[in-house]
Amino acid sequence: MPTSTLFIVPLSFPLILLPTGRITIPIRATVGEVLLQLIQESEAQPIVAAVPIPAVDSASLHEWGCAARVVRIVRPPKGVARDGQQPYLLTLHGLSRIHLPDAEGAQDHFEDGIFERIVEYPQATIPPTPEAASTFKATAARLLDRLIQDSASDTKKEFYTKLAGMVDDVQIQRAPWLADLLISSLNAEYTDKLDFLSAFDVNDRLKRATEMFIKQTSISEVSKKIAQSIDESLSRQQKEFFLRQQRAAIDRELRSIQRSSPSQSRSSPSDPTSSTGSTSELDDDEQADAADMADIRAKIEAMAQDSEERKTAVREWRRLRRIPAGSVEHGVIRNYLEWLAAMPWPASVGTVEADRLLRALRDREFLLKARKQLDIDHYGLEKIKKRLIEYLAVVRLKELQAEKGARIAQEGHELHKTDDTPQLDANSGALVKLEKIDPTSIHPTPPRIRRKSTKGPILLFVGPPGTGKTSLGQSIARALDRPFQRISLGGVRDEAEIRGHRRTYVASSPGNIVQALRKAGRPDPVILLDEIDKIAHNNFHGDPAAALLEVLDPEQNHSFHDHYINVPVDLSQVLFICTSNTLETIAAPLLDRCEIVHLSGYTYNEKIHIARRFLIPKQLQANALTSDHLIIQDTALLHVATHYTREAGVRSLERAVGAIIRHKAVEWAEYCDSINADPDASIPATTALGKETATKIYNKSVEKHDLERILGIARWEEEEREERRGLVYGLVVTGMGEGDVMPVETSPVPEGSGKLKLTGSLGDVIKESADLALDWVKARAYDLYITKSRSQDPLKNPDSIDVHLHLPSGAVKKDGPSAGIAMVCAFVSLLTGACVSSDIAMTGEITLRGRVGPVGGIKEKVLGAHRARITKVIMPWGNRQDVEHDVPLEIRQQMKFVFVRTLEEVLEAAFGKRVIGQRRSDVLLESRL
Ligand SMILES: Nc1ncnc2c1ncn2[C@@H]1O[C@H](COP(=O)(O)OP(=O)(O)OP(=O)(O)O)[C@@H](O)[C@H]1O
């Protein structure tokens, strides 16, 4: 047997090199340097013996190894290898098997890394038999086939195909060589490979290779089977899920059939579902769940193709299917999908449905019916109703125009699908265009042409509480036959209340705009934004007012962004109506988008009518009585309006009426009990049913004198307005938008220095008005006979005093210029001693020249004065129009209005002709230039 002395390179566990194989291993620097030296010394590439160490803890080398050519040694970069720790890389190419006669004895040198040994080259004497070679080829081919089928990557597939080709072509003598090549290229167990290395006999080698191939094939078949069975079990679960759903749907159908024909179901005891007896809806968990999911799915499928909402819903639906049912994430996604599916997406409204939505508007009697509806719901408010009819007419025109536009676009789309080639008409012989629809261009669901947004004006009802702002909104919705939703914005501080929370928050939900839209169930409801003046502005919770701006802006609201829904929501078809008590706290940009409709309040007469026609019937019904049980006399109603409720609207009146009716309900019930009668019966007469057996009597008429017994002592007793020196009554509009009378009190403070003291929570403007008024009076003191010479100061002569001006209700902030003329009169009264009648009230702004300028809130102020039983109102000449247009005729007939241009005219109207002296000759004549 040939021998040779070779350097031994030990291969640490589990490395192995077979003939034909190639390996790269790290080696110590010392070993590397020895081998490099060897390369330099020898002419050809040196040969070494790569011998495996058979186990991790083995102290000896394996008996068999592989003679290998040194292909390459890589030295690490210089700086890195300074300490000699960094390994060199050695690449070897396996040539032939070698036998180590004294493998055991090598262990002394083992640690040094490299050493020389005598190795033997065993020679095979018998050539490979054809049988061994053909079995080898067959098993190799089978294994390679399997590997080609199973491998996922293309490069691997290519590699195995190449090997398979070699197996096909190999000759018998070369079969052992191919066995080496295949075993070193394929995955196999280390021990098997080690065993294979020792097989120097070629037939033995082929046999062992065959065994290894069979083993590998069965391993790969088994793993494939396992993978398949896992797949099958998964799809079985899915199958089970679908079957369960189907079963739930079938059960549901059967139950609904049974419910609709109970007699039939009772007569079929063989039916398994009927034998279950009474099923509670609480037992239906799984089925209800499946039904919900089916419902969501159907809604998603009904969404418009290519719409943003559909894409998002489909994506989330797929995510939902991947997530286990019990998980938190599952709940979150499902909740989101429920919201998404329940939203009325404008693009998803079908043509039939859209047609239904527009039915009310197409009605030729729409405006007539709308007017009727407004009259049914509200008394009076003529001007407002007229304005609303105009508004509804515009909404109708715009909607119908938008619908027509959409229809034309749809027809255009249809036409697009027709064949355009002119055809020969058989009868006339002329070229005509046949409207032939190309079947290939038909969509499964034709894209819906969206109605353009209508961008109608946004109404803003402004007025005191209880004047019917909310109920007018409801009437509009009824007239348009659309759902009505009310969103109360009072105290909304957090932007999230408008825009919703992001889905990442625990228990997040959409904002109230989206909630209202979902509740409405239609893309075009009437949404009433109540009390927009009470919404908070920029704070650390965001800016709700800014979010509202986006909602109301027709340019932006076709793609409103709600944080939760996270898909643009089209609000362009929603009719927004806002209400507010005052305009002062509404941001200018918000006001800019609205069309303001003022509701100022009702006269007593109107209130009595409203109570008779609306409030009493409503309260009677609410308290289970009828008009047979109760009559509230007009005098009593008026007394309630004047003495128990003093408000611009009718809300407190409604409450008081409710209290009266409830009181009478108790009386009626007690009476019925006492005579053993049915409380449901009506009583025929207005007088008491004074039966002898009855312990109580019942009087169905409510008179003025009954009120104290029912409602307690009146809150507003007869006004104790006084006629006093220095006291004058002005007119104001409160923060609630109500008009009222406000006393302007002045009094002299002795031992003063001619100063003005102001109290009563006054703002800057009203303080300036007071200064202006006093300065005017001081300047005119001589003309008004207050002082004896022009140079005298009325506050220092004859005595030196201060003047104190106070506006009562000190806790309420007051501001504005309209108390100017009342202050002038109060100062004149104080300094002259003349009094202004307590039946007179006044309002008007003054200038330093003594002119009287117009003021706002005339209707409210006049109504407030009327409520306070003022008989004469002094107001600026510039406000005549307002009185004529806004103040009801009955009030104009009951009160006297004096319109003034100058303060001299004010004094004459307030104190009476010539009560306040005027030194005529000295009156300043105004320039007429
Ligand atoms: N002109 C009217 N005719 C009939 N009923 C009326 C009229 N005005 C108000 N009402 C009734 O008064 C009650 C209060 O009205 P509503 O709630 O609309 O007031 P509001 O102006 O919205 O008040 P707030 O500013 O407090 O919201 C309702 O029951 C309403 O029907």
More confident: 270 or 260? 260
Indicate the pLDDT class of residue 108, thresholds 50, 70 and 90. Answer: low
**Is any ligand 1 atom within 6 A of the Cβ of residue 465?**
yes
Residue 215: what pLDDT? Answer: 86
Find the range with the poorest average confidence among 396-410, 415-429, 627-641, 912-926: 415-429
Residue with CA closest to ligand 1 atom 3: 378
Q: According to the model, what pLDDT value does residue 440 have? A: 39
Taking only the tens place, the pLDDT of each residue in 367-396 is 888 888 888 888 888 888 888 888 888 888
- Counting other chains too, the contacts that 52-57 makes at CB distance below 8 Å and 24 or more residues apart are 52/10, 52/11, 52/13, 52/15, 52/16, 52/17, 52/194, 52/197, 53/10, 53/11, 53/12, 53/13, 54/13, 54/194, 55/13, 56/13
Which CATH number, 2.40.110.10, 3.30.470.160, 1.10.8.60, 3.40.830.10, labels domain 604-683+704-711?
A: 1.10.8.60
Ligand 1 atom closest to Cα of 466?
A: 19
| Cα of 467 from ligand 1 centre, angstroms | 5
pLDDT at 605 over 90: no
Three-state secondary structure call for residue 873: strand
Rounded Cα gap, residues 195 and 363, in angstroms: 97
Q: Is 3-120 in CATH node 2.30.110.10? A: no
Residue % of the chain over a pLDDT of 90: 14
User: pLDDT tens digits, residue range 113-127?
Assistant: 677 888 888 887 788
Inform me whether the pLDDT recorded for 140 exceeds 70: yes
d(C-alpha 404, C-alpha 398), whole Å: 10
Does ligand 1 come within 6 angstroms of the Cβ of 579?
yes
379 ligand 1 Cβ < 6 A: yes
- What phi-psi label fits residue 481: left (phi over 0), alpha (psi between -120 and 50 degrees) or beta? left
Q: Are strands 64-74 and 22-27 parallel, antiparallel or unpaired?
A: unpaired
> What is the tens place of the pLDDT at every residue in 304-358?
888 888 889 999 888 888 877 777 888 888 889 888 888 888 777 766 666 666 7
Residues at the annotated binding site for ATP?
463-470
Q: Could you tell me the pLDDT band of residue 45, with boundaries at 50, 70 and 90? A: confident
Residue 558 has pLDDT above 80, yes or no: yes
Helix, coil or strand: residue 128: coil
- Residue 703: which residues within 8 A CB-CB, separation 6 or more? 633, 635, 636
**Separation of CA 649 and ligand 1 centre (Å):** 7
Q: Which residues of 748-785 are buried (b: 16+ CB within 10 A; e: fewer)?
A: eeeebeeebebebebeeebeebbebbbebbbebbbbbe
Residue 352 has a pLDDT of: 64
Most confident of 180-194, 639-653, 890-904: 890-904
Q: 855 or 507: which carries more pLDDT confidence? A: 855
**What is the torsion angle, in degrees rounded to the nearest 10, for the CA atoms of residue 797, residue 800, residue 804 and residue 805?**
20
**Ligand 1 pocket, residue 609 CB under 6 Å:** no
Pick the CATH number of 458-598 from 3.10.20.310, 3.40.50.2300, 3.40.50.300, 3.40.50.1220: 3.40.50.300
Classify burial at 679, counting beta carbons within 10 Å of its beta carbon; exposed 0-12, middle 13-18, buried 19 or more: middle
Q: Which residue from 376, 385, 461, 467 has its CB within 8 A of the most atoms of ligand 1, so it is best to mutate?
A: 467
Least confident residue range of 191-195, 471-475, 595-599, 795-799: 795-799
730 lines ligand 1 (CB under 6 A): no
Q: Which pLDDT does position 770 carry in this prediction?
A: 92
pLDDT-derived band at 103, boundaries 50, 70, 90: low
Q: Is 818 known to be catalytic? A: yes
With a cut of 70, say whether residue 925 has pLDDT above it.
Answer: no
According to DSSP H, which parts of 18-88 are helical? 29-41
Gap between the Cα atoms of 112 and 470, Å rounded: 99
Spatial CA neighbour of 565 closest among 744, 350, 785, 312:
312
Asked whether the predicted pLDDT for residue 85 surpasses 80, the reply is no
Q: Specify the pLDDT at position 587.
A: 82
Residues 6+ apart with CB under 8 A from 403: 354, 358, 451
User: pLDDT by residue (tens digit) across 893-909?
Assistant: 889 999 999 999 999 99
Pocket test for ligand 1, best of 476, 615, 650 (most atoms within 8 A of CB): 650
Task: Report the pLDDT value the prediction gives residue 454, as an integer from 0 to 100.
Answer: 55
Q: Which residues does 127 contact at the CB level (< 8 Å), separation at least 6? A: 172, 173, 202
Which atom in ligand 1 lies closest to the alpha carbon of residue 471? 18
Is the shortest distance between the CB of 380 and ligand 1 below 6 Å? yes
Q: What is the mean pLDDT of the chain?
A: 80
> What residues does 488 pair with on adjacent strands?
530
Crossing angle of helices 382-416 and 469-480, in 10° steps, is 40
- Sign of the alpha-carbon dihedral angle for 746, 751, 754, 757: negative
The residue to mutate among 651, 652, 653, having the most atoms of ligand 1 within 8 angstroms of its beta carbon, is 651
Q: CA nearest 544: which of 582, 469, 488?
A: 488
Tell me the per-residue pLDDT of 568-579, one tens digit each, with 9 for 90 and over.
Answer: 888 888 889 999
Predicted local confidence at residue 79, as pLDDT: 57
Between 299 and 507, where is the model more confident?
Answer: 299
619, pLDDT greater than 50: yes
The pLDDT of residue 282: 58
Q: Say if residue 422's pLDDT is above 70.
A: no
**Of all residues in the chain, what percent carry a pLDDT higher than 70?**
83
User: Does ligand 1 come within 6 angstroms of the Cβ of 468?
Assistant: yes
pLDDT at 844: 93
Catalytic residue among 818, 829, 838, 859: 818
210-231 confidence digits (pLDDT tens): 888 888 888 877 777 776 766 6
pLDDT band at 36 (very low <50, low <70, confident <90, very high): confident
Residue 823, pLDDT > 70, answer yes
CB of 654 within 6 A of ligand 1: the answer is yes
Residues in the annotated binding site: 463-470
Given a contact cutoff of 8 angstroms between Cβ atoms, the answer to whether 620 and 663 are in contact is no
Q: What is the rounded CA–CA span in Å between residue 179 and residue 65?
A: 17
Banded pLDDT at 687 (limits 50, 70, 90)? very low
> Which of 919, 922, 843, 839 is CA-nearest to residue 876?
843
Confidence bin at 410 (pLDDT 50/70/90) = low
Largest CA distance in the chain: 156
**In this structure, which topology does domain 727-911 adopt according to CATH?**
Ribosomal Protein S5; domain 2 (3.30.230)
Active site residue 755: no
Does ligand 1 have an atom closer than 6 angstroms to the CB of 375? Answer: no
**Residue 426 amino acid letter:** A
Q: What is the pLDDT of residue 351?
A: 62
Among candidate residues 607, 664, 778, 861, the one labeled active-site is: 861
Cβ–Cβ contacts within 10 Å for residue 197, how many?
Answer: 27
Domain coordinates of the chain in residue numbers?
Answer: 3-120, 130-227, 288-342, 458-598, 604-683+704-711, 727-911
841-895 pLDDT, tens digit per residue, is 999 999 988 899 999 889 889 988 988 889 999 999 999 998 988 888 888 888 9
Residues 815, 819, 820, 825, Cα dihedral to 10°? -150
Which ligand 1 atom minimizes the distance to the CA of 380?
1
Read off the amino acid at residue 243. L
**3-state SS string for 170-224:** CCHHHHHHHHHHHHHHCCCCHHHHHHHHCCCCHHHHHHHHHHHHHHHHHHHHHHH
pTM, entire model: 0.58
Q: Give the least confident one: 242-256, 358-372, 462-476, 491-505.
A: 242-256
Average pLDDT, stretch 649-655? Answer: 89
* Ligand 1 atom closest to Cα of residue 606: 1
Confidence category of residue 424, pLDDT binned at 50, 70, 90: very low
- Give the ipTM of the model, two decimals please: 0.96
Higher-confidence position of 728 and 443: 728
Model confidence at 728: pLDDT above 90: yes
